[in-house]
Structure 1
Amino acid sequence: MQRRLEMNLTQAEAARRAGRSLDTWRKWEADPSSVGEESRRRCSAVLRLEVHEVPVGSDVGDLYVRTWGECPFMTPRQAYAISVQLDVWNDIEISEWVQSPDEPLYTVGPFESFDLPVMMLVGENRAWAAGVAQRCAVIAREIESGVLPCDRPGPYIDEVLFGAASNAARGWAEIDPSLVEPVPAREETRGDAGDDEYRVGDDYWGELYDEFDDRSRWTDYDYPLLKDNPALRHLLDERPPLTWLDPPFDPDPDLRALLSMMPGVEG
């Protein structure tokens, strides 16, 4: 607690930076062994404590290096930052709003990054917000295991959330790199002469954006994140926000063939 006070951090702000709930932070301050090893690592990272000062098991950095260390377009630190941002939205911002909606939902992350017409249709729907929080948790755990939303079928909101989390994580990771120190840094690397092997460094996010654009299953996933996008109205007509949590409709080949033969139905 002394270290947190020296840094002029409230428990709520420290918990937000750690990507953990306020309750988890309070438990960690009272007894570090009462929370999981990843929570211990994240809480200690916020206060910039040395590893020996907080009891931990395996290094969380090892996890991200194993899953993303050889990835050419995203570094382990970038993957970690995105996971942390998703956890912050799930554990803190959305969860606290669902329990006590004292402010408009459009002011809460990640919804503050959505263009306003989206949130005008959502209103103050707590069930929808809770569903989004659950998707944040799912995506964060999948990233830890080396899977991105574009790697498997999923609801539209998953790719929207990944895009929003990437933008937000880039912002705070560049402002305060110490928040991603639990994961080893990586510099840009190139292969030998004539070798096209390439891996981005921590400071370059453009390759991740380009790769995700190319591989996304929902090619319009970024429309809600673009301010005053003229194509957004058509998207909202065809796919209202309250359907964004729905699983994708992908009929089996026989059903698809049957539908294609029905009058007025395109295959």
Structure 2
Amino acid sequence: MRVPVTSRRSLRRRALAARVLWNGAELLVTLGVVLMLLVVHQLWWTNRQAREGAERKVQALEREWEGSRHTGVGGGDPPDAGGGSSAPGSSSGSSGSSGGGGSSRSGQRPGSPASSTTPVQQPRWDQAYAILTIPRLGLRVPVAEGISKPNVLNKGYVGHYPDTAQPGQAGNFAVAGHRNTHGEPFRYINRLREGDRIEVETRTAGYMYVVDRTLPQTAPRDGGVIREVPRSLVHPRYGYSDPGYYLTLTTCTPEYTSKYRLVVWGKLASMRPR
């Protein structure tokens, strides 16, 4: 009967293979843990930080406006910036019948001289100067000037597209917000339906818009959706033909990608002085 003999060379090879396998397994486990931590940071920590910061900013704006009323200090709304043609937000992310143009709570038509405030100053770049509320989504979030990721969107704010109209002004008040991570304020705007209310408050007035139409998907380069009279350049059957008082929300779609843009349009229905 033969007795198997294992050479020292064979043993060394087996030991080397075992070490390689062990080190490879350790590396894979380490990479897995790092990736898991990155996912937790993006999907949980950035949301928590941004939401808390946005909530504090909303409270600060409300305190500031309340103090202004008590002290009589002015500082009205930013002026109308007219229409713009920027793309729907490479850094952001944005139903039905014609529901705008009705009577305001004071009995005036939106946009008439008696129903709009007199603007006195332009908001500074990245300044939070308004509050956007969507009751259906339980959303209440600051609106800041510009769509910078680090200074606006990643803070959980909604960003106002430069060169588009300001709240309550003739034209298109167009804003962008993240759909995922960093507070994701616009994550569920796909759930908005015709007739849903969207409220925008500034230091001097509150404006109520009514959701009118939705463009489920368009290209990021489709700047027509935020023009003064919004109409998609990629899908021309979506949009408007007549001047008015519009609100545009834009965000990325599908979720967790930035391949396309989702757009929701509303029309101004009423305003009230603060």
TM-score of the aligned structures, taking structure 2 as reference length = 0.25
Query: Larger strand proportion, structure 1 or 2?
Result: 2
Query: Larger helix proportion, structure 1 or 2?
Result: 1
TM-score of the aligned structures, taking structure 1 as reference length = 0.26
- Which has the larger Rg? 2
